[in-house]
Amino acid sequence: MTNAGATFVDKEVCVDGNLITSRRPDDLPAFVVALMKAIGAVG
């Protein structure tokens, strides 16, 4: 990915504008929280 110009971030959740990603299934709880914040369901 870095050869294609991507920036690698080793965090459980990465939010970049409307894109929300996580590393692996273990990061699902943090991913869900970030997703809920993005759609306005959590403050």
- Whether 31 maps to a domain, the answer reads yes
**Position 8 pLDDT exceeds 90:** no
Nearest Cα neighbor of 28 from 43, 10, 12, 14 is 12
- pLDDT for 32: 96
Give the span between the Cα atoms of 42 and 39, in whole angstroms.
8
- Whether 43 maps to a domain, the answer reads no
> How many domains is the chain partitioned into structurally?
1
Q: What domain range includes position 16?
A: 2-38
> Tell me: the pLDDT tens digits for 20-43?
999 999 999 999 999 999 999 876
State whether the Cα torsion 36-43-12-2 is positive or negative.
positive
Nearest Cα neighbor of 20 from 2, 35, 40, 36 is 35
Q: What is the pTM of this model?
A: 0.76
- Whether 11 maps to a domain, the answer reads yes
- pLDDT for 43: 64
- pLDDT for 37: 95
- Whether 27 maps to a domain, the answer reads yes
